[in-house]
Amino acid sequence: MNKRAIILSIFSASLVAGCAIGYQARGSLGGVPGEMRGKAYPGNTTGGGRFVLADRDGRLQCDGQMSPADSSPTPGSCEGETGKGVVRCSDGREIPVRWTAITCRSFEGGGDDQMGNRLIFRVDRSK
């Protein structure tokens, strides 16, 4: 099996698993018209996670990898935890980001790319 087929298989399996969990991602990126939407995939028990956003035409895709929290104002509570991450887009952008937990099932964050375009994102569990 070639490399492309393996990557596609892994991505497809992740997408199906993420749909079952029900986390939605949305965001905006300077210079990209309209809202970007996608899915999110929670990390393991240590935290962190991943989300994928795409523009409305599906031409630009961005993959965000969030590290576990590096700061927690209230031990034992998710609310207010913060951490770092990086978002890599299909057009070559790499955006360092910071995220903040709103609840144990949602977080928001943002960062700027090399050209000063601002990415703002939010991840929520669907009801």
89 found inside a domain: yes
The alpha carbon of 57 is separated from its chain's Cα centroid by a whole number of angstroms, namely 19
Amino acid found at 82? T
Is the pTM higher than 0.95? The answer reads no
pLDDT of residue 82: 94
- The tens place of each residue's pLDDT in the chain, 127 residues long, gives 444 433 333 444 444 444 445 899 999 999 999 999 999 998 776 678 899 999 999 999 999 999 999 988 887 788 899 999 999 999 999 999 999 999 988 999 999 999 999 999 999 998 6
Q: Which amino acid is at 6?
A: I
Decide if 2 is inside a domain.
no
Output the six-digit token pair for 52. 């994928």
Distance CA 64, CA 96 (A): 9
Distance CA 70, CA 120 (A): 20
Q: How many domains does the chain have?
A: 1
User: What gap in Å lies between CA 120 and CA 64, rounded to an integer?
Assistant: 12
How open is the CA angle 21-27-31, to the nearest 5 degrees?
150
The CATH number that applies at residue 33 is: 2.40.128
Residue 93 resides in a domain: yes
Tell me how far CA of residue 45 lies from CA of 42, 61, 70, 92, 126, in angstroms.
9, 27, 15, 31, 20
Q: Is residue 54 part of a domain?
A: yes
Residue 31 inside a domain? The answer is yes
Cα 123 from chain centre: 7
